[in-house]
Each structure stands twice: as C-alpha cells, then as structure tokens.
Amino acid sequence: MENQVLVELEYKFTQPSALFLEDLAHIDGDFIFLGIGGKMGPSMAKLLLEGLRQVGVSRKVYGVSRFSDDSSRQYLENLGVETIVCDLLDDEALQSLPYAKNVIYLAGFKFGATGKEDFTWAMNTYLPGRIAEKYKNSRIVAFSSGNVLPFVDVRSGGVDESVLPEPIGEYAQSTLGRERIFTYFSKKNGTPILLYRLNYAVDFRYGVIREIAKQVYHQQPIDIRTNNVNVIWQSDANEIAIRSLLHVESPAKVLNVTGPEILSIKWVAEKLGELLGKEPLFVHEPEQTALLNNASECHRIFGYPQVGILDIITITAQWILQDGGEFGKDTHFQERGGKF
C-alpha cells in the first residue's frame, strides 16, 4: 500500500494551475510526445490529460518510445495515452507515426554519451532533422539543455538567450546541433518551433535537490567546486513546455527555462540539514564559474514558477524522510568537463 503522506504530497504539488488550464483551452489539435519514456514525459502526459479533463476538451494524446520497460507503457496507457512502440531512428517506423498538430520532442541521449559518440550525434543531431521533416506542418516544442551555454561568473546573473552558445564536450555539442537543425528546418519549411533550453528540472524522485538531500541524509561529503545552480520544479517545467505551444515561432524561438534564483549548493545543503536533522559535510572550495541560465524571458511570458525553492527543499526533505521512491538517474550537474 502506498504511503498516504507521499500520495498527498505528490497530488498537492502536481496539480494543473489556473494559468495552465487557461492556455490549454486555446491549444487546438492532438498531441504527440516523442521520447515519452524519460524522466519528464510520463508526468507531462499526466498533467496534460488532467488539464484536458478539467477544461472539458477531448484530444488524442500519443506517447512514442522504445518502451524497454513495459510497466512504463502500462502506466501511460492507464492514464489515457495511446502508446506507440517505435525506434525513432528507424525511418520506416518514424514515417508510420500518426500526425498531430502539437509535438513535444523529448528524445535525446546524454548519460553514457562518452564512448558512444556516434549514437549521441545520431540521436541529438541527425534525428531532429528527420522529425522536423516528418512534422513540418505541426507546432514543435523541442527540448534542449542549458549545457550548450558557456560557464559564466556566478555573480553575472546567468546567461540569457542573447549569449552565444559555447558547448563543452560531445553531448553539449550535439545538443547545440539539435538546436541548429531544428532552426534550419523551421526556416526552410516555415515550421513554428520553440527550443526549450532547460536546466535543471527537479522532482520528488530525481534532480539536483534530491541528490544533495541524499548526500546530507547519508552524511556523504558534498563537492562544492560547482557551488551554484538553477532549478525549477518539474510540474512548473511541464506546464511551461505545454504552454509553449502557444509561443512557437519561425524561425525557431529559443527560450531559457529554469527558476529565478542562482542557488548556492552549500546553502541548499544547510537548509536540508536543518530539516533532516543532519550536519552537511563539504569538500573542496567553490569555483567562480558555473552553468547558469537566466530565464527572465520565460518568467515574463509565463510568470514565476508556482513552487518556490523553499517549498522544493521542504517537500524533498519530507519525501526522503518518508522513504519515497527515486528514479536513480543523477543529473551530473557538477560535471565541468562535458563528459557524460
């Protein structure tokens, strides 16, 4: 039987907001999630289906993935997602996918990229071109990453969309390739696209805050060489992704997506320590630079995230103390050499 505290906690912090429902009512057409099997896809589909139910609109929602884990597919089917097993790199299978007006592109390859550079580029740069041609008559919100951006001084306020990318390592380089390819086809075909440059989504089960909380709870030393980071609650990030379908453009629009604060890892750990009853342990000294994303344009369009950092810290500590589950997929946010 599920822990009732965890059930209530998750329900409270994943419900659609009024602003989300207002925008959702203006998005016409069916939806398809390409690469739905990752960390954000299932929760985003759940949010979308609950939103459609609340606004009283019927839409088809497709979810495409290899689905190596059948339980993930069954979970989505139970929500009401029409799942499709597909290797997106198989062009025949790709061309057989149904048309949908609204495309959320989540496919990509990051962890394990070192040693699999050819596959990394195929997934992150070649595949977007095939998707852009297949869905040239759709709206596309394509996930990207703050990893394409340069490291900047932690006092700089972060990097906005006007700053040119400086990707480090083949994952980040191939992700910039994804942006460039989508932009090319957006211009070529007039396809309205938004490049959703995210770092870092956090949730009960994964993300920067949970990783720090686990280290605090288990009295493991926390490396603070990368001592500054941005985060955004996953439900807020999910809402912004779907609402972004109303803000796609041709040529493609780039949008930085994260929370408003530049956080200190040391500060976060100390706050978590107070809630977990543990004294954080730190190693090394902070570097003066970090990957920092300035999302002021996102906040201008969509407003500030609904869930603030103190709430995120508190609910993450509660989840840890209640022995809530996890995905086991670390962000590697402290990586400074681009090797994933």
Q: Which residues of the chain have pLDDT under 50?
A: 1
Which class would CATH give 4-202+233-260+291-305? alpha beta
Bridge partner list, 102: 31, 139
Q: What is the pLDDT of residue 117?
A: 95
What pLDDT score was predicted for residue 69? 84
Q: What is the pLDDT of residues 66-118, one digit of tens each?
A: 998 899 999 999 999 999 999 999 999 999 999 999 999 999 988 777 889 99
What are the tokens at 182? 């989508």
Show me where the domains of the chain are located.
4-202+233-260+291-305
Query: 255, 247, 240, 267: which is closest to 294 by C-alpha?
Result: 255
DSSP 153-198: ETTS--B-TTSPP---HHHHHHHHHHHHHHHHHHHHH---EEEEEE
pLDDT for residue 2: 59
pTM of the model: 0.96
Closest to 203 in 3D by CA, of 34, 14, 7, 339: 14
Q: Name which of 230, 290, 226 is nearest 257 in CA terms.
A: 230
- pLDDT at site 278: 97
Number of H helices, E strands in the chain: 13, 15
